[in-house]
Every structure is written in structure tokens, then in C-alpha cells.
Structure 1
Amino acid sequence: MTEWNIDQSVAETMAAALQSSVKRVRTMGSTSESSSSSFKDAFGNYADYLNNLNEKRERVIKASRDITVNSKKVIFQVHRISKDNREEVLDKAEKDLAAVTEKYMSKLVKELQGTDFWKLRRAYSPGVQEYVEAATFCKFCRTGTLLNLDDINATLLPLSDPSVEPLQINVLDYLLGLADLTGELMRLAIGRISDRELEYAEEICQFVRDIYRELTLIVPHMDDSSDMKLKMDTMLQSVVKIENACFSAHVRGSEYMSLPGSSEPSSFLLGLSDAGSLFGNTEKRCFSPLLPAERFWTTYRGKFVHVTPSSALLQVTVLPMLGFEGSESVQKAILEWEQFAVVAC
């Protein structure tokens, strides 16, 4: 009996241990299932977040492209400006710019307001830069001044919901757009020179110089300045082109004097007074080093000849091809064109 009692006790102990083991297995199984479910939920949330972010990025890229295209149209409209249609062209350009703000910038603002829009900066930056370029271009052509960043951001505030953080153009995108502006100003200056608006071209030249000078002080201290450094090289080229165009216009314009009854320097030979004001005293050989031997090409009665200002008594030597023969013809030429000399090459 004792032996049997011992075996029964061992059997009961083993049965209890087996039941406990089965309970532990069931508990671990349920814990594993709940843990797996929580991981699935977490990854599902991450997947939804990334999908929503990618969809938003695509919408932002689309809005940025629309802003770029329509801002370029505003810039093209401003380039139609001339002495005769200045107000009309600028009114149309400003109206188009307001339409870009209300129709396309508003979409971008609604997509990015109240969010961490820095994550999507690369997606919307090209459109914002083009918008800044168009807005500053219109402002300069209207007032001759620079549209600052605070004024641009002020136009975007009404587009945002007051209850959330508004989208604001950052300093880097503003400066990148400002760098692009200098290229458009270079094209505008060349066009104004061709329309004989040299003073306006000189104003543009000084404005672009000021922008370039200020940015040369800022760019070296910028953290993310790789894009800006590339644009600084292009900006310098624009400055040089405007300076060369203005200088060439001064030199070419000094070769001509006004026709009788005309106020524009549109024809023929160099006046001595013009040469003196531009190059200094002609007797002291103060001509530009770009002009060889104080002589340069001009036209006289449809012929190409060399022109040299005389020092005291004007002397004229005229080739027979010009139709002058004998002293009487020379005297006639002196009376007809006073204060400059024609020297055949």
C-alpha cells in the first residue's frame, strides 16, 4: 500500500506539472499573437503615412509646375515693355501675377499649411523661386525698387487658414529667386538699349550690381549654398554683359550727332563736344584704350570712313569716292560738318 501511495502521489504531481505547462504554452501563444498584431498595426500606420506623404508630394510637384509655367508667362509679359506701352504692359503683368497667386499659390498653401513643409521643400522650391522672380521683376519695373521677403509672405497670409501655421517662403528660396531675377534684368537692359533707353539700362545695371555685391557677402556664410554658388557665377556673367552693353552704347552713341531738326543721336559723325565729354580733352589723347589710335569707324553719306577729332584748325582729307574734289569741296565739308575731321584710312 505504501508503494502504491507513492506512485499515485508522483502521478498526481506529474499531472499537475503537465497542466501548468499547458497553461503556460497557451499564455505564451496568446501573448505572441497580441504582439504580432501590434506590430502589424504599427507598420500599417507607417505605410499609410508614407503613402499619404507620397501622394501629397505628387500634388505639391504638380502645383509647383503650374506656378513655374504661369510665372514665366508673367515674366514674358513684362519683357514686352517699351516706352510707348509701359503702363499697359505692367498692368497686365500685375493682373496675371495676382491670378497666379490666387489660383496656383493658393493650392500650394493649402497643401502645406500646418504641416512640416520643410520635408517637401525640394518638391515646391522651383515653383516658389520662379514666383519670387516674377514678383520682384514686376516690382522693379514698376517702382525701380526691390520687393522684400516680408512683403511677398504678406501676400500669402490671406490664403492660409488662420487656425494653422501658414506657409512662408524661406530665405534660401527668396535668394535663389533673386539670383534668377538678375538674368531677366540683363535681358531687359539689352532690350532697353536697343530701344535707345540708355538711362534705364544704366539704372538696371546699377541695381544688378547692388544685388551681386550684397550676395557676395552672404553666400560664403550660408550652410546649404551649393545651388547659390552656381547661380552666383551666372549672376556675375549677367553683370558683365550689362556693363559691356552700356559701355558699348556710350561709345557707339558718341560717334553720332543729331540730324538737323532731330533730338536723337541717330546719324553720321562724331561731334567734338560729345567726344570731349566722354573721353576728355581730345588734344591730350584721352581716348579709350579700346579705340585704336584715336580712330574708329563711322558713316558719312552712306560711306564707312575713319573719324578723328581735330586738335586746333580742322583739316579734312576726303577721298574721291566720297565725291569731294578740290579745295572748294573740302571747305564745303568743313562748313557742313563743323568740329570734327574725316580722315580716310
Structure 2
Amino acid sequence: MAQDSDLQDVSANDVNELFGAFRKELDARYDLHEKVVKISRDVTIESKRLIFLLHRIDFTAEKLENSLQQAKEKHLFILEKLKKVAVLLKDVDTFQFVRAFSAGLQEFIEATAFMFFIEKCNEVNCENICSIILSMHQVTDFLSFSDETDSSKTVRLEFPVEEYLLGIADVTGEMMRLCINSSASSLGQKDLSKSLSFKLTAYVQALHNAFSIFVHIVDVSQGLRKHFDEKLRTMTANVKKCEDVCYTLRLRGHEMPHDILKATLMEATEK
């Protein structure tokens, strides 16, 4: 009987120690998750500020370079925050924490794609507009950082392709707004196909066409599938608004006085 009692005490102690280890592991995991969420919130806020900055850019040659320099500095500041996430997750399975930094990552991809377009749009035309669409490979390069403890190693923030697709899909909304806001500057331009509004429309069309293919072949959960379908509907609406602007500029630009045409384009913005 005494021996059985000793065995029960040992067994109880082992169980307590085991569950104590589980508790510590779960607490550490929860703390790590909270740290990543907080940084992701900062990334989301700063990425939105970068987008607002890009919308205020003056596209005249003498002011564009200075504005882009400010945007690049803001972009580097955001990358420093994402580097903190990569360092925090370098010794764990990053994909277990994707939902913790998903919102920030998608906003970063959106802002980066928007900045990349504004930086390169004067170098392309409507025919080769696809060359300045931000690729997943480029995003991966941005999110690869040198390890401060060992300069020969690289710390990467890994993420699934779904995060890239959802982030790049959001940029069509910013493109649509810029297309409408910049349409007035296209009035009187001899070759409208070289105007900013037409390039933006070609960009949005190319993204929409690609996304409408990928949305049906990417293997995702049912919940994420609904999210993809919602993004596709939003993209379709953005394409239509951009095309309406180009239609108004192309077919009615010579029929209507510029003041009335501007008012018509502003009406399209509010719809």
C-alpha cells in the first residue's frame, strides 16, 4: 500500500510538471503573438500614411523626385518594423503567426505596389504596364534582412502567396482614386494613351485579369475563398470606374468645355 501511494505521488508530480511546462510554452507563445500584433498595427498605420503621402505627390518633374524621396524614407521606416517581426519569428514556424501580421503585411504590399507604380510610371506605356506590377519575388526581397547577430545569414519574413494576392488586390482602389483625381491633368493632352489616367486604367485592368485567374486556382479555405471573391468584386468595380474616366476623356473630351468635363469627372468620383 505504501509503495502504491509513493507511485501515485510521483505520477501526480510528473503531471503537474508536465502541465506547468505546457503553461509556460503557451504563455510564451501568447506573448510572442501579442508582440507581433502590436508591430503589425504600427505597420498598418505607417503604410496608410505612406499611401496618403503618395496621393499628395506632384507629378511635375522638378517636384516628383523630392516627393518620392520622402516616400522611400517612409518605406524604409516601415521595413525596419517588419524586420522586428522577422527577428521575433526567426526561430519559430512563421506560418503559425501569419494571422498576427496579416493586416500589416497586406497594407505594406499595397503601399509598396502604389509607390513602385508612381516611381516607374513615366518609364512605361499602356502596352508594357505589366512590367511595373509589384511581384511576389520583389516583396520577398524587401522582406529579407541581414541577421544582426551573424552578417553572413539572412532573416526572412515568410508568408503565403494568399497574403500577396490580397495585398496587391487592394492597390486597385488607390489606383482608381488617383485615376479620377489626375484625370483633369489629361485634358488637352494630344496622346491620351500616354496620360496618367490611361496608364492607371491599364494597370488596374492587368491586375484584375490576373487576379480573376488566380482566385480560381489558388487552394484556400472556404472562408478565405469568400474573401477572395469579395476582393474580385471590388476590383471589378474599380476597373469600371477607371474605364468610365477614360471613356469620358476619349469620347467627350473634345465635345465639352473643360470646366464642364471636370465637373462630370468629379461626379464619377462620388458615385
Normalised by the size of structure 2, how large is the TM-score? Answer: 0.81
Amino acid aligned to 1:94: K
Contact 1:114–1:164, Cα closer than 8 Å, also in 2? no
Amino acid aligned to 1:124: F
Note the C-alpha offset of 1:51: 0.9
Contact 2:172–2:238, Cα closer than 8 Å, also in 1? yes
CA distance in 2, matches of 1:248, 1:113: 52
- Helix, strand or coil: the match of 1:82? coil
Note the C-alpha offset of 1:255: 1.4
Does residue 109 of the first structure (1) align with residue 86 of the second (2)?
Answer: yes
Note the C-alpha offset of 1:36: 0.7
Q: 1:244 to 1:222 in 2, by over 3 A?
A: same
Amino acid aligned to 1:208: V
CA distance in 1, matches of 2:154, 2:14: 32
CA distance in 2, matches of 1:156, 1:83: 28
Contact 1:160–1:166, Cα closer than 8 Å, also in 2? no
Higher helix fraction (1 or 2): 2
CA distance in 1, matches of 2:238, 2:58: 21
Amino acid aligned to 1:131: F
CA distance in 2, matches of 1:159, 1:201: 39
**Residue deviations 1:140-195, cap 9 Å, x none?**
11113112111221122224466686322321111101000111111111111033
CA distance in 2, matches of 1:126, 1:77: 20
Q: CA RMSD in A?
A: 2.0
Residue segments in structure 2 that go unaligned for 5+ positions in a row: 122-131, 261-271
The correspondence for 1:133, drawn from 110, 120, 131, is 110
Amino acid aligned to 2:133: L
Of all paired residues, the percent bearing the same amino acid is 29
Does residue 93 of the first structure (1) align with residue 84 of the second (2)?
Answer: no
Normalised by the size of structure 1, how large is the TM-score? Answer: 0.64
CA distance in 2, matches of 1:36, 1:169: 42
- Helix, strand or coil: the match of 2:13? helix
CA distance in 2, matches of 1:239, 1:267: 25
> 2:181 maps to which residue?
191
Structure exhibiting the larger radius of gyration computed from Cα positions: 1
Show structure 1 runs of 4+ deviating over 6 A: none
Residue segments in structure 1 that go unaligned for 5+ positions in a row: 1-24, 257-264, 269-345
CA distance in 1, matches of 2:89, 2:154: 10
Note the C-alpha offset of 1:266: 4.7
